[in-house]
């Protein structure tokens, strides 16, 4: 965990707290694993929340625990990271989708359902959308 703490850091972002690179990550390199309780979709519906990450038809990871610092990865319309799930191990790992440099915020595309339920109701605060708003 020490090397992980050295490579990423949680700090203030445009949309609250975010997960930032504390070192360079080349495209394809592992950043962090998304961890939490493994629950059913029915349990996820009961619990609700913003930190639910679907792995497959049976399992959702509830990453609300603050130990899961991957939960601080914010949505980005032009994300620099991507999630890969492994049904056999029931894990979600986050990798660099493009080169990420020290100081860059790590972002993921949260998907259509999350967008419609949470982000679409407000203005998107990702860097690419804020840049577009400033130029309009």
For 2-135, CATH gives 2.170.270.10
SS3 call for 1: coil
Which tens digit of pLDDT belongs to each residue from 32-86? 999 999 999 999 999 988 899 998 899 999 999 989 999 999 988 899 999 998 7
- Where along the chain do its domains lie? 2-135
Which tens digit of pLDDT belongs to each residue from 92-122? 999 999 999 999 999 998 887 777 776 665 6
Residue 54 β-bridge partners: 60
């Amino acid at each position: 965990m020490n090397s992980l703490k050295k490579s990423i850091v949680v700090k203030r972002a445009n949309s609250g707290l975010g997960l930032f690179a504390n070192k360079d990550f080349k495209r394809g390199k592992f950043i962090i694993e998304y961890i939490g309780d493994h629950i059913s979709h029915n349990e996820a519906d009961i619990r609700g929340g913003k930190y639910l990450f679907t792995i497959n038809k049976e399992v959702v990871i509830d990453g609300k625990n603050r130990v899961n610092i991957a939960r601080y990865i914010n949505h980005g319309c032009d994300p620099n990271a991507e999630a890969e799930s492994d049904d056999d191990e029931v894990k979600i790992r986050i990798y660099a989708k493009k080169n990420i440099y020290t100081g860059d915020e790590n972002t993921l595309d949260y998907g259509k359902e999350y967008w419609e339920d949470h982000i679409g109701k407000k203005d998107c605060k990702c860097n690419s959308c804020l840049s577009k708003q400033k130029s309009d």
